[in-house]
Amino acid sequence: MPSAREALLDSAHSALSTLPWTAVRMVDVAAAAGVSRQTLYNEFGSKGGLARALIRRAADRYLAGVEEALGAHRAEAAGPAELARWTVAAARDDVLVKALLTGVWADRLPAPKALPAAGPRAGAPLPTPTELLELVRDRAVAELERGPAPRTPGELRLACEIALRLALSYALVPAEAVDQCAEPDSCRPITPMITREIDTSLRAETTSSRKIIP
Q: How many residues are given for the chain?
A: 214
Q: What are the residue ranges of CATH 1.10.10 in the chain? A: 1-44
CATH number of 1-44: 1.10.10
Say if residue 4's pLDDT is above 80.
Answer: yes
Q: d(Cα 68, Cα 150) in Å, to the nearest integer?
A: 21
Mean pLDDT of the chain: 79
Per-residue pLDDT, 113: 86
| pLDDT, position 191 | 38
pLDDT at 70: 83
Segment 96-151, tens digit of pLDDT = 999 999 999 999 999 888 887 665 555 668 899 999 999 999 988 888 887 766 67
The answer to whether residue 28 scores a pLDDT higher than 50 is yes
Phi, psi (rounded to 5 degrees) for 122:
-70, -30
CA nearest neighbour of 169 among 69, 116, 101? 101
**What does the pLDDT look like over 52-104, one tens digit per residue?**
999 999 999 999 998 888 876 665 567 788 888 899 999 999 999 999 999 99
- Return d(Cα 60, Cα 4) in angstroms, integer: 18
Residue 99 backbone dihedrals phi, psi, to 5 degrees: -65, -40
Query: Which phi and psi (to 5°) does residue 116 adopt?
Result: -65, 165
**Per-residue pLDDT band at 189 (split at 50, 70, 90):** very low
Residue 210 has pLDDT above 50, yes or no: no
pLDDT value for 41: 94
- 155-180: pLDDT as tens digits: 888 888 988 988 888 888 765 544 44
% of the chain with per-residue pLDDT over 90:
44
Mean pLDDT of 186-207: 42
